[in-house]
Amino acid sequence: MKKTLSLILALILCLGCCMTLASCDEQDDGKYTVGVIQLVAHPALDAATEGFVDALKAKLGEENVVIDIQNAANSTDTCATIANTFVTKKVDLIMANATPALQAAYNATTTIPILGTSVTEYGVALGIENFSGTVGTNVSGTSDLASLDNQAQMILDLFPEAQKVGMLYCSSEANSDYQVKKVSQYLTAKGITCTNYEFSDSNDVSTVTQKAAAECDVIYIPTDNTAAACAQTIYGAMGDNKKPIIAGEAGICGGCGVATLSISYYDLGYKTGEMAADILSGAADIQTMPIAYAPKETKSYNPAICADLGIDTAALEAAGYVPLS
């Protein structure tokens, strides 16, 4: 009986070891699993995700990384659901593309490394006062913030007769509010009247845009995900009362803007992918990794909309502007 019992115990222990080994093999197959939360599909965010994926594959090897890309269709609730799913799956790293995606991931885990991209200001996004440039937790990433003072100065340089500037943006995006405040401060100090025109979501974009176009000389739109997704709607909503729009990024400018101080979102995403590769390979510690920025800014103009509004593109090129690519 003792021999039989010993044999049974031995078999149980052996089976347990085999199951443990099988589990380890399944979880540690030599591949890194990365979850991507993209807030919404539009050119800037799409380019950032593409750059991120390309960098990860280039740095780690395509055969060594599994990338699960999920689109939240511009829903903060869906961002949270995706983030929690990635945490349950125990992915090795989460890339959060846009501020609401970053906030969802930040609220979902304190242990899995999180890299943001297409995020304007991390202190604002994460509620960090006196932000120093390094989050210091499991979060880092890249910022799409181009110089706000230089964007404001573009309005003064291109439209020196303008007296009223409308700030058109989504009220639910904290980073948009941050940009608008900074640009308004700069313009107000120059004697320009700035008025906010806030829409809550895509449903009231047209109505708010019509009001801004009727009351202002120029419109400014910051890097705003809802505006980016509705850029063509914004331009169409102005009808016969079209006003020039200075945009915070190239995607918005391509749909409704005259000019922008642009960055490459592909390059921004690529930089984020390089950071991810360093974290996953152990070459860098995310807790000490500062937020990175786009390597350069480019003054760009939209030839089609400039032609529609009768704006002299030769003068723009003489001032250093290049056509949107």
Q: Per-residue pLDDT for 12 more than 50?
A: no
| Phi and psi at residue 268, to the nearest 5° | -65, -45
* Spatial contact of 126 and 135, defined as CB atoms under 8 Å apart: yes
- Name the pairing type of β-strands 139-143 and 164-170: unpaired
pLDDT value of residue 174: 87
Longest dimension (CA), the chain: 101
Range name among 2-16, 81-95, 177-191 with the lowest pLDDT average: 2-16
Show Cβ contacts of residue 130 under 8 Å, excluding neighbours closer than 6 positions.
Answer: 123
Compute the average pLDDT of residues 56-69: 97
pLDDT value of residue 219: 98
**170-179, 261-270, 271-280 — which one is most confidently predicted on average?**
271-280
CA distances 238 to 126, 160, 165, 233, Å, are 35, 22, 15, 9
Q: Per-residue pLDDT for 271 more than 70?
A: yes
* Higher pLDDT among residues 12 and 96, named by residue: 96
pLDDT band at residue 325 using 50, 70 and 90 as cut-offs: confident
pLDDT value of residue 43: 87
pLDDT value of residue 14: 41
pLDDT value of residue 5: 40
Compute the average pLDDT of residues 40-52: 94
pLDDT band at residue 262 using 50, 70 and 90 as cut-offs: confident
Q: Is 151 exposed, middle or buried (0-12, 13-18, 19+ CB in 10 A)?
A: buried
Compute the average pLDDT of residues 176-202: 96
CA distance 269 to 273: 6
Compute the average pLDDT of residues 50-58: 98
Q: Per-residue pLDDT for 320 more than 60?
A: yes
- Name the pairing type of β-strands 298-301 and 259-262: antiparallel
Record the pTM: 0.77
CA distance 74 to 130: 29
Mean pLDDT of the chain: 90
Distance between first and last Cα of the chain: 82
Q: How many residues does the chain have?
A: 325
| % of the chain exceeding 70 in pLDDT | 91
pLDDT value of residue 294: 86
Strands (E) across the chain are located at 32-38, 65-71, 93-97, 114-119, 139-143, 164-170, 193-199, 218-221, 245-247, 259-262, 292-293, 298-301, 322-323
Compute the average pLDDT of residues 17-33: 50
CA distance 232 to 253: 10
Pull the structure tokens for residue 104: 């969802």
Pull the structure tokens for residue 304: 């089609």
Compute the average pLDDT of residues 67-95: 97
